[in-house]
Structure 1
């Protein structure tokens, strides 16, 4: 397991020129650019597992006979603030392998500064990578992990549990099964309080109620070869950054205040995005809770558009959680159709899962 360990340093504290490339409008760090690096890191770790710890370059995937793609990003949880005055270490390793899949854990840590501050983990994430045959594009078997210590056995068990929970969540998706009784009751209570016809008539004039349809934000762009990966498709990390930035803008407009990144709840990579295609990113606020600060769950869908026919195919689904900087913000998003109601419930599930994970980490 330790053979796949990989790390690199972003010298924000010691190199002003590097910091300039990552600085956002408020003087902080562009988290979306860091997500690009995390996706690239996860891919590098997966290739390192397949090619050996001494590998320095991937080479030609056709000649190797296989290639690796990101199937999903399980979670990315922000545990602390990014400090532009300190160097940042990104690291990770493979912790579990299935027949053709690998679970990769990544983390970001701030490095000790000039006043000997301690290292601090500020982000933890999980990527699911899959191996494909370079010629048939069918599943390709990956090397099994050799477990050499109790600590590695613990990590392997966690990776196995991640995969099992992901499969369970997929089976319980609201696109496949109806909501449970508690969810149905919560949705109906919300409808009685905010979704009655007389309420909806005033929804546009209310400063606190926002129709889910009115939270739609869209962006279209052409995909250029400069953003390709080794498979000659658009790099998944670049798509993550685009989705992150659109989701941030949507969350900020909804809250009418800046928002703070809390978690990337899930990304599913369904289809590759070809070079030269037109990408349409569409974002909606799916759920907002009554906590303080208020948490907002935002979905971003990536579609490839066929310019000749106008047909679209969904390539990626992104889910983000943001916290409003303005603690007095309590705006509510109101679904108006059954499809929107299911998205509202999915957002509710994501926020509940995030609360549970953060609660467990606080206890530890």
Structure 2
């Protein structure tokens, strides 16, 4: 296994025609189908970087910016944005293309944390990331910051650390009624 790899070495993309079988009750492509494709490409990218089987540990928020229509081409692009000891953050970008009009739209982007596993299911080290551009450094730094903020957020709201008095005032103006007994 190489000690460090460039994100260019593991970039992957797929394009798929959206069929009626992919649609929801509203006639648009089902978000679950898009999420499934996103998870597949994140797996492919992480596995290519680590040269190991990988599992999805978490998915950062997914905002659906535009609906995808049946008959459009959906293109997903993935690259490694961050590497930890055994984990990688894969950035996934989704674009739809109306093939009759030639118009393209950014549908969503998300970040998948993938973990490399050995044949016994144990987490194993992954190659580090060679940063070659300002964009690469920005993506790595953003992923590192997102990881730090998630840790703080998760521990701050654990029941053993949570202090109601620190948060009850922030509920003012929200669509909530507090009835403490």
TM-score band by shorter chain is 0.7 to 0.9
Q: 1:99 to 1:195 in 2, by over 3 A?
A: closer
* Larger of the two Rg values belongs to structure: 1
Q: 1:67 to 1:116 in 2, by over 3 A?
A: closer
Unaligned stretches of 5+ in structure 2?
Answer: 1-6
Q: 1:44 to 1:176 in 2, by over 3 A?
A: farther
Q: CA RMSD in A?
A: 2.6
- Residue of structure 2 equivalent to 1:155: 139
Higher relative contact order (CA 8 A, sep 6+): 2
1:128 corresponds, among 107, 113, 129, to: 113
Query: Normalising by the residue count of structure 1, what TM-score does the alignment of the two structures yield?
Result: 0.44
1:185 corresponds, among 169, 174, 180, to: 169
- Residue of structure 2 equivalent to 1:104: 90
Matched, 1:168 2:152: yes
Unaligned stretches of 5+ in structure 1?
Answer: 13-18, 52-65, 197-335, 338-364
Q: Determine the C-alpha separation between the residues in 2 that align with 1:67 and 1:90.
A: 20
Q: Determine the C-alpha separation between the residues in 2 that align with 1:147 and 1:157.
A: 11
- Residue of structure 2 equivalent to 1:140: 124
Q: Determine the C-alpha separation between the residues in 2 that align with 1:150 and 1:190.
A: 40
Query: Normalising by the residue count of structure 2, what TM-score does the alignment of the two structures yield?
Result: 0.83
For residues 71-98 of structure 1, give each alpha carbon's deviation from its aligned partner in whole angstroms, at most 9, with x where no partner exists: 1112111122223342111121111001
Matched, 1:5 2:11: yes
1:89 corresponds, among 75, 95, 100, to: 75
- Aligned to 1:76, the other structure's residue is in SS state coil
Retained in 2: the 8 A contact 1:79–1:124? no
